[in-house]
Amino acid sequence: MRIYYRYFLLLILLLLCGFPLALSSQAATTAKGPITIGVMLPLHQLDGDGKRMTEYYRGMLMACNQLKTAGYTIHVQAWNVDANTDIEQVLQRESVEKCNVIFGPLYSKQVKPLADYCKSRRIRLVIPFSITGNEVASNPYVFQVYQDGARLTNAAVNAFLERFSKCHPVFVDCNDSINPKGAFTAALRKQLDIKGVSYNITNLKSPDDAFAKAFSATQPNVVVLNTARSPELNAVFVKLERLEQLYPGRVVRLFGYTEWLMYASYDFAHFCKYDTYIPTTFYYNASATATQTLEKSYRSWFHEPLMQALPRFAITGYDHTQFFIRGILQYGNQFTGNRWQRFYQPLQTPLQFEPVGKGGRQNTAFQLIHYLYNGSIESLAY
């Protein structure tokens, strides 16, 4: 009796001190559930936002279906939260607080009220797409998937410096005022200057002999353009082929931009020829068996193909759902989504979270897609 009395007093003391015994909505979950996920996104066909988010949601449903066949118990609650929705009204519904994790919203003005709600009820909030605001810095229940341009530029610069420390950088000015990549080239040049690495700058319109002078005959050259546009990229291919004819033996590589993935179907041979590296947070591999199987199932379920977008929204929703359901149920309150918690191989969209001070967690997944000389492709994760 005395032992039971001690345990009873200890439990009362912990409760009085506000000790967080568990996330309130997760106390009853096991390794395979049950788990309830909420979706607060524009789920309609009235505009581009609605169509994209509907496809994302369909991918989520396909992930849930796959997990259910593997023995997981999953409940899904979905609300059509469009740009004009008063999210405070949605949050008054009793079913919302039963969620273990909520995906959304799409619109920045809805983030704070939803984040505050999740914090007060200890519900994880996954913000999957671009927003303004910084709730992740102060709210420990926020998982922010989107990475802003500054973060991605910094990741690309660091990857370049690590990968090409023994190469000679060549910057090609493409005279493009429509889609400049000055933020990246300026940041990269600044770091090269700090490290004392010499580099050359040339112009797409330079004569062949002047263009060639920018390239080293003794070091591998890595070419960086200040644009991601296809016409200028194709013009650079012509210049490089001319360089090879006039000055054979030069070793040339390319360091590109995420947009180049859109050109891979017709620039594949050039990408491989020039040992190309493309920085990105995703990679859609249309030839992968798992990707083809998912796309076939999508057509069967919804009687239409996936939208021609990069990344594919349905596959993004599929990957996000697999990642969070598996992670939450496997690790419970210890789930952080960091690089050491490996439990799912994504089809397209890797996730890797790091803490933001005393706030939530920011996705930092980043990779280089490398097109090799032999025609194969590899992903180099960072």
CATH number for 234: 3.40.50
In this prediction, residue 56 carries a pLDDT of 99
Number of domains into which the chain is organized? 2
User: By the 8 A CB rule, do 243 and 215 touch?
Assistant: yes
Indicate whether 327 and 178 sit together in one domain: no
In this prediction, residue 308 carries a pLDDT of 96
Among 280, 309, 334, residue at a domain's last position: 280
User: By the 8 A CB rule, do 336 and 353 touch?
Assistant: yes
Indicate whether 273 and 172 sit together in one domain: yes
Indicate whether 230 and 154 sit together in one domain: yes
- 353-355 and 361-363: which strand pairing? antiparallel
The tokens describing 52, both together, are 């994209």
In this prediction, residue 178 carries a pLDDT of 79
- Give the dihedral sign, CA 297/303/65/312: positive
Indicate whether 140 and 173 sit together in one domain: no
The tally of CA atoms less than 13 A away on the side-chain side of residue 145 is 23
Residue 382 in any domain: the answer is no
Domain that holds residue 312: 22-147+288-365
CB-based contacts of 170, cutoff 8 Å, min separation 6:
199, 200, 201, 202, 214, 215, 221, 222, 223, 224
Q: 254-301: per-residue pLDDT in tens?
A: 999 999 999 999 999 999 999 999 999 999 999 999 999 999 999 999
Taking the C-alpha atoms of residue 53 and residue 351, their distance in angstroms, rounded to an integer, is 19
Q: Which of 381, 311, 304 is nearest to 348 (CA)?
A: 311
Among 225, 259, 280, residue at a domain's last position: 280
Residue 370 in any domain: the answer is no
Region of 342 on the Ramachandran plot (φ > 0 left; ψ -120 to 50 alpha; else beta):
beta
The tally of CA atoms less than 13 A away on the side-chain side of residue 3 is 0
Residue 16 in any domain: the answer is no
Q: Which of 373, 184, 159, 185 is nearest to 271 (CA)?
A: 373
Residue 6 in any domain: the answer is no
Indicate whether 31 and 109 sit together in one domain: yes
In this prediction, residue 92 carries a pLDDT of 97
The tokens describing 168, both together, are 């000679």
CB-based contacts of 283, cutoff 8 Å, min separation 6:
261, 348, 367, 369, 379
Taking the C-alpha atoms of residue 236 and residue 114, their distance in angstroms, rounded to an integer, is 48
Indicate whether 156 and 138 sit together in one domain: no
Q: Which of 285, 277, 237, 241 is nearest to 258 (CA)?
A: 277
Indicate whether 53 and 107 sit together in one domain: yes
Indicate whether 256 and 348 sit together in one domain: no
Taking the C-alpha atoms of residue 307 and residue 204, their distance in angstroms, rounded to an integer, is 35
Taking the C-alpha atoms of residue 189 and residue 195, their distance in angstroms, rounded to an integer, is 10
Indicate whether 49 and 142 sit together in one domain: yes
Would you give the end-to-end CA distance of the chain in angstroms?
56
User: By the 8 A CB rule, do 348 and 315 touch?
Assistant: yes
Indicate whether 32 and 115 sit together in one domain: yes
Taking the C-alpha atoms of residue 344 and residue 335, their distance in angstroms, rounded to an integer, is 13
Indicate whether 128 and 239 sit together in one domain: no
The tokens describing 28, both together, are 């009853």
Indicate whether 276 and 154 sit together in one domain: yes
Quick one: CA torsion of 158, 352, 20, 26, rounded to 10 degrees?
170
The low-confidence residues of the chain, meaning pLDDT below 70, are 1-30, 179
Task: Specify the residue for token string 């912990």.
Answer: 14
CATH number at residue 133: 3.40.50.2300
- What percent of the residues of the chain are helix, what percent strand, and what percent coil, each to the nearest 5? 45, 15, 40
